[in-house]
Structure 1
Amino acid sequence: MNAISVERRTALRGFALTAALLSGLALAGCQTAPTGEFNNIDKAQGSTENISSLSAVIQRNPQDPEAYNVRGSAYGRGGQYQAALKDFDTAIQLNPNFYQAYSNRALIQRFLGNQEAALADYNRSIQINSNYDAAYIGRGNLYRKAGRTTEAFNDFQKAIQLDTTDARAYHNRGLIYQSQGQHKFAIEDFSTAISLAPDAAEPYNGRGLSYLAMNDEDNAFSDFNMAIKLDGKNAEAWANQALIYERRGDKVRASKSYREAVHLDPTYQPAKDGLSRTSSATAS
């Protein structure tokens, strides 16, 4: 099984793009990954009905490590992290070389804040199978959140060299390029991520920020609009759309978009600042 896709947006805010001043306005950029990791959680995979059917499979064959790994993934998608850990533990006990289960358990450990345990599991997964792209991507995100940018970049690079079709590798490498001001490379990576995961909002939002940094306002605006279309609850995309309106002098629309961003995330400072700047336009 592939690494479970259970990253929540709130768990991904640790890699915010530093605000850049463009035309006197702060670039509203808080990048989320997509941590797979930027796809929406498939709640159906963790539904009571699905868990019950998977449990029935385990009852019929309690010595099958794959069955525990699958159910653990379903528990993870449903947010039942302790139950997921227990199943991954069992899968590994039954098959100590089950590298997918190590990688899956590492992701759950990350959610629970057990970073050292997560790193140990990713390392073990890679030790067993040095060509397992999901483990490199997961470990890269762990390094990235810890500020170990070079190691994170190397892991994403390794996954890409392995010809991964996982959009996370390109998206996350793009975030690193972006944070270093290498926007042309970032745009290339975000574009590849979009081609691999066209329904994910985050690569569009990320690419829009790099377009904006290069003063390509039209393409930036198009990407922010697409991010909103794909995920209407993406506060960062709403704030970035508002920034374009503000740069164009349309404070009424800017204020409405900033207001929506604040509604979605009352703690998002760029949206709060933007709303403060433009709210007078809609006062009447």
Structure 2
Amino acid sequence: MIKYVFIFILMFGLGISTFAQENDFDLGIQAYNEGDYESAFLLFDNWLRENPRDPEGYWYLGQVYEQFDGMSDFLALENYNQALALNPEMTPVYLHRGRLFLRLKRFEEAEADFKTYRRLPKGETTRIIYKTSGTDSGVSSIFTDQSENPSQILYLLSLSKAGQGQVETAISLLDSAIYYSPLESDFYAEKGKLLMDEKQDQAALIALEKALQINPDHYLAKQRVLSIRQGGDREKLEELTKAISTDPENPLPWKIRGYYKFSQSDFKGALTDFSEAISLHPEDAENWFYRAKTYAKLKNWIKAEQDFTEAMFLTEQEPELLLGRGQARYYQNKTELALADFIQLISIDPSNASGYYHRGITLHRLNRASDACNDLTKAVQLGMENIGEVKQKICN
């Protein structure tokens, strides 16, 4: 989803107007533009207490609410509604409210607002709209209310149509947006997504690769190409990928997508996601544990041992961690260290059949056949019946 940040610049001739004394409204705009949303909230709130019929105050307060978590989207919507109740001709509010409706999945209302935005005159004030994408860092481009290029509003209309299930219309609108702005990578990435939904993988790849040709770092486009080539539950993967794109500093979506990729045997992809989760939250033992399991699947036993050890520093020495590290050590021929892990595992969980099995085969490697046979017999008694052939060979 593209985020639009509106900044007013009042231009008079060749100069920019200045004010001898700034009021709460002006200070609120300044705080908002500097990213100090808490101060902006207080300033706009104070302004509206004294000026309860100022539509621009409600418009800006709505924008501030959009920066907060929780139920703030609905508070933003209330303020946009109030702004339009006071001034139904306030064109840019329709764009903001339409974008908010998109996020709330109220697609028909979003479409209505975008159409109203296109229909209404844009006024005399030049509003510079800084457009940032969830896949980009910083400002990617700018446009103004007076811009004759309709590509951005066509793009938003396509999203609202896609949300209503009108995929052909959405693709047609995207094609129109591309006609007006042929170097906008987001347009191709979204077209690729819609073609994927229509099972038109080859056409989708063409659109996605065009997005990457324009912007090689386009995150969603890269992930969608991987989704086509690797298969799996595309809807689930797309949902997780969008969550990451929306909030890339949040480790949880990275971890959850890592789980998903691990479950689909995409171990290299899982490794990348768990590594990112660790970089964002190194105190989470689960991140280290699952990356260790991923390294084990890739038979990188050295890295697996290191990550299991790190997880054990962060949490109690749980049986699964001891089992994993013991296995990693066993495959590195660190037999005595592996044995120590399996002994500790059994002391913590005496009914762990896998613990007895792994201690048994480790003892066998150490030429302690009798002890090995006892452990394998115990593993079978605890329900590990599929090791009968191994037990027979060692015990005989």
User: TM-score, normalising length from structure 2?
Assistant: 0.38
Counterpart Cα distance in 1 of 2:327 and 2:275: 22
Instruction: Give distance in 2, aligned partners of 1:231 and 1:96.
Output: 48
Q: Could you tell me whether the CA contact under 8 Å between 2:267 and 2:297 is conserved in 1?
A: no
Confirm or deny that 1:167 pairs with 2:289. no
The equivalent residue for 2:244 is: 126
**Is 1:274 matched up with 2:390?**
yes
Structure 1 residues 123 and 261: alpha-carbon distance in aligned structure 2, compared to 1, 3 A threshold = farther
Q: What amino acid is the match of 2:373?
A: S
| SS of 1:215 mapped into structure 2 | coil
On the 8 A contact 2:329/2:337 being kept in 1, the answer is yes
CA distance in 2, matches of 1:175, 1:251: 29
The residue identity in structure 2 corresponding to 1:159 is A
Segment of structure 1 superposing worse, 156-165 or 123-132: 123-132
1:133-282 matches, within 5 Å, as 133-267=251-385, 269=386, 271-280=387-396
Give deviations 1:111-158, integer Å, cap 9, x for gaps: xxx966654553354344322323322221211121111110111010
What RMSD over aligned residues (CA atoms) do the two structures have, in Å? 2.9
Equivalent position of 2:95 in the other structure:
none
Letter matched to residue 276 of structure 1: Q
**Aligned CA distance change for structure 1 residues 185 and 266 (closer, same or farther; 3 Å):** closer
In the other structure, the counterpart of 1:31 is none
1:64-79 superposed matches below 5 A: none
Instruction: Name the CA distance, whole Å, in 1 between partners of 2:371 and 2:300.
Output: 31
**CA distance in structure 1 between the aligned counterparts of 2:289 and 2:303, rounded to whole angstroms:** 11
Distance 1:225 1:118 in 2: 41
Sequence identity percentage? 21
For the pair shown, which has the larger CA radius of gyration, 1 or 2? Answer: 2
Higher-RCO chain (CA-CA 8 Å, sequence separation at least 6): 1
Deviation for aligned residue 1:259 = 2.1
1:189 maps to a residue whose letter is D
**SS of corresponding position for 1:245:** helix
Q: Which runs of 5+ in 1 are unaligned?
A: 1-63, 66-94, 98-113
Distance 1:208 1:131, change over 3 A: same
Distance in 2, matches of 1:172 and 1:183, equals 14
How far apart, in 1, do the equivalents of 2:235 and 2:375 lie? 41
1:19-168 residue pairs with structure 2 within 5 A? 118-168=236-286
**Structure 1 pair 115–165 and aligned structure 2 pair: CA distance change class (3 A):** farther
Tell me, in whole angstroms, the C-alpha distance in 2 between the residues paired with 1:264 and 1:166.
32
